[in-house]
């Protein structure tokens, strides 16, 4: 048997576990902005509670990605993880397209900096859509396996 076929006796990771590793790595990079957001949200109470709530949900998902990448979650927990990820990344996209983008487009003629914000929102949306899509693929993969 080839000694490189299995690493330390572990079985091959599922597709959704590989996606969980991607989310875990990205979440690690997001911990610094999250900590900064929580710090500044303390000065913005009661509106800062929304930031604290969003960061807390992100940390819960982060713990789920770690557990799933190690294979420690059961079927229901894995499905809940991906559904939560889809909602967590889908809500900002919907909000930005329904509320923020129309406002920025409307004010673009009176406020020239609006075009810069439109570009920024589009880039954020591309990231959220990518995360949303990856979570959808992972959920589809898990639903086929179970």
| Residue 7 counted as domain residue | no
Q: Is 83 in contact with 139 (CB distance < 8 Å)?
A: yes
| pLDDT tens digits along 15-46 | 999 999 999 999 999 999 888 988 888 888 88
| Residue 130 counted as domain residue | yes
| pLDDT tens digits along 87-135 | 999 999 999 888 888 888 888 878 877 778 888 888 989 999 999 999 9
Lowest mean pLDDT among 5-9, 64-68, 136-140: 5-9
User: What's the total number of domains in the chain?
Assistant: 1
**From CA 7, how far away is CA 11, in angstroms rounded?**
8
| Residue 57 counted as domain residue | yes
| Residue 8 counted as domain residue | no
**From CA 29, how far away is CA 127, in angstroms rounded?**
14
* Global pTM value: 0.82
Phi, psi for 124 (deg, rounded to 5): -60, -45
| Residue 1 counted as domain residue | no
**From CA 59, how far away is CA 37, in angstroms rounded?**
13
| Residue 9 counted as domain residue | no
| Residue 5 counted as domain residue | no
């Amino acid at each position: 048997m080839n000694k490189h076929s299995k690493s330390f006796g572990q079985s091959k990771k599922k597709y959704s576990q590989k996606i969980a590793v991607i989310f875990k790595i990205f979440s690690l990079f997001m911990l610094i902005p999250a900590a900064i957001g929580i710090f500044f949200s303390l000065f913005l109470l009661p509106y800062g509670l929304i930031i604290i709530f969003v960061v807390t949900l992100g940390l819960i998902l982060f713990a789920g990605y770690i557990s799933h990448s190690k294979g420690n979650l059961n079927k229901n927990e894995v499905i809940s993880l991906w559904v939560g990820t889809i909602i967590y990344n889908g809500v900002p996209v919907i909000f930005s397209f329904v509320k923020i983008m129309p406002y920025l487009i409307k004010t673009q003629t009176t406020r020239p900096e609006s075009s810069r914000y439109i570009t920024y929102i589009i880039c954020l949306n591309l990231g959220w859509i990518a995360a949303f899509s990856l979570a959808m693929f992972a959920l589809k993969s898990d639903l086929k396996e179970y």
